[in-house]
């Protein structure tokens, strides 16, 4: 569609090919301009005016920003990083402090209410801390991933590592389920959400478990390259759909 044929300009004398008498004054001219612009927008094909990309961060306190000001948390810092990368995105906060994989599975209907195109799945840390059977955690994450894939949502699965005080068998079973699930559902995978942050006192709060603002910045910086291919894929698909319209 060519703008010149559907939404004509003033040509220096009027608007839309209609000459406006001077006695009507600039106010009426402005009204006519607004009306024609509104008509032009209505005539654009679906998707021509791109809406922000919707990215759901589904997780626990690491997503919810436990102990941090709102501007310092994962959602806010990821939003800022995406803006800096030229991505118009709405990052939806699906983090609940203390949540387990079972809790995330139970509230899936609610968190998907905004119909996100991309989901960052960060659950399992509390399962590990509570010593929940890795088989149960895997079953919950499997159910979540099955639904997200079935609904054609792009997924970035963030892995977690088990506390080492629960023994080598638990740790082996827990750590291994994340890459297995990523492979099973063919989704993007970020092996360890706390990579570069865990165990560093300078990047964690006093509890040694939750990142401080500087720690969150490290997480966002390291995770972003794994997220951007999904962003590009979803935006490319949306552009192709709009072009077909």
Residue of 60, 93, 99, 210 marked active site:
210
Domain that holds residue 37: 11-43
User: In the predicted model, what is the mean pLDDT of residues 142-146?
Assistant: 98
Count how many domains the chain has.
Answer: 2
Among 60, 61, 93, 99, the active-site one is 61
Confidence of residue 4 (pLDDT cuts 50, 70, 90): very low
User: Has residue 24 got a pLDDT over 80?
Assistant: no
Tell me: do 88 and 201 sit in the same domain.
yes
Catalytic status, residue 210: yes
Q: Is the model more confident about 160 or about 18?
A: 160
119 with 225, same domain?
yes
Same-domain check for residues 107 and 24: no
Q: Does 2 map to a domain?
A: no
What is the per-residue pLDDT for 22?
A: 53
More confident residue, 55 or 46: 55
The residue among 6 and 51 whose pLDDT is bigger is: 51
Active site includes 152? no
The verdict on residue 48 lying in a domain is no
Q: Which of 4, 109, 152, 207 is catalytic?
A: 207
**Within a domain: 5:** no
63 and 177 housed in the same domain: yes
Q: Residues 195-218: pLDDT tens digits?
A: 999 999 999 999 999 999 999 999
Please tell me the predicted confidence (pLDDT) of residue 46.
Answer: 43
Pick the range with the lowest mean pLDDT from 38-42, 59-63, 87-91, 220-224: 38-42
| Pair 173, 77 in one domain | yes
CA distance 83 to 21: 45
Are 186 and 225 within one domain? Answer: yes
What share of residues in the chain are helix, strand, coil (percent, to 5)?
55, 15, 30
pLDDT at residue 236, as a whole number: 87
Here the CATH number for the domain that contains residue 204 is 3.40.50.1110
Residues 36 and 57 in one domain: no
Burial of 224 (0-12, 13-18, 19+ CB in 10 A): middle
| Neighbour order of strands in the sheet with 118-122 | 89-95, 53-59, 118-122, 154-158, 188-190
Is 18 within the bounds of a domain? yes
Tell whether 127 and 32 lie within a shared domain: no
Average pLDDT of the residues of the chain: 86
In the structure, what pLDDT confidence band is assigned to residue 48 with cuts at 50, 70 and 90? Answer: very low
Q: What is the pLDDT of residues 92-130, one digit of tens each?
A: 999 999 999 999 999 999 999 999 999 999 999 999 999
Q: Is residue 200 part of a domain?
A: yes
The verdict on residue 159 lying in a domain is yes
Quote the pLDDT of residue 35: 55
Angle at 62 (CA atoms; ends 57, 68), nearest 5 degrees: 110
Q: Are residues 171 and 234 in the same domain?
A: yes
Rounded CA separation 120/91 (Å): 10
Per the structure block, which two tokens stand in for 68? 């941090």
Active site residue 207: yes
pLDDT reported for residue 9: 44
Q: Tokens for 99, please give them.
A: 């949540």
Q: Do 183 and 132 share a structural domain? A: yes
* Integer Cα distance of 151 and 239 in angstroms: 19
Q: Of the ranges 42-46, 166-170, 234-238, 240-244, which one carries the lowest mean pLDDT score?
A: 42-46
Both 199 and 83 in one domain: the answer is yes
* pLDDT confidence of residue 82: 98
Please return the burial class of 126, using the count of CB atoms within 10 Å of its CB with bins 0-12, 13-18 and 19+: buried
Residue 6 within any structural domain of the chain = no
Tell me what pLDDT residue 51 has.
Answer: 86
Is 92 in the same domain as 178? yes
For range 185-193, the mean pLDDT: 98
Percent of the chain topping pLDDT 90: 75
């Amino acid at each position: 569609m060519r703008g010149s044929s559907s939404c004509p300009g003033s040509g220096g004398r009027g608007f839309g090919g209609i000459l406006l008498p001077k006695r009507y004054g600039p106010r009426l001219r402005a009204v006519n301009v607004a009306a024609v612009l509104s008509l032009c927008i209505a005539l654009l094909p679906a998707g021509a005016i791109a809406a922000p990309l919707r990215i759901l961060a589904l997780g626990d306190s690491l997503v919810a920003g436990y102990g941090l000001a709102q501007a310092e948390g994962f959602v806010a810092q990821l939003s800022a990083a995406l803006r800096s990368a030229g991505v118009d995105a709405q990052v939806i906060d699906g983090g609940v402090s203390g949540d387990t994989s079972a809790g995330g599975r139970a509230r899936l209907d609610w968190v998907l209410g905004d119909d996100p195109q991309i989901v960052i799945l960060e659950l399992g840390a509390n399962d590990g801390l509570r010593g929940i059977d890795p088989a149960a955690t895997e079953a919950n994450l499997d159910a979540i991933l099955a639904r997200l894939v079935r609904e054609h949502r792009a997924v970035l699965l963030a892995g977690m590592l088990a506390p080492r005080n629960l023994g080598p068998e638990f740790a082996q079973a827990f750590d291994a389920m994340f890459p297995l699930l990523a492979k099973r559902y063919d989704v993007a995978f970020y092996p360890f959400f706390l990579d570069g942050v865990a165990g560093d006192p300078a990047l964690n709060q006093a509890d040694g478990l939750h990142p401080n603002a500087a720690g969150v910045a490290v997480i966002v910086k390291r995770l972003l390259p794994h997220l951007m291919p999904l962003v590009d894929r979803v935006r490319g698909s949306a552009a192709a759909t709009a072009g077909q319209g």
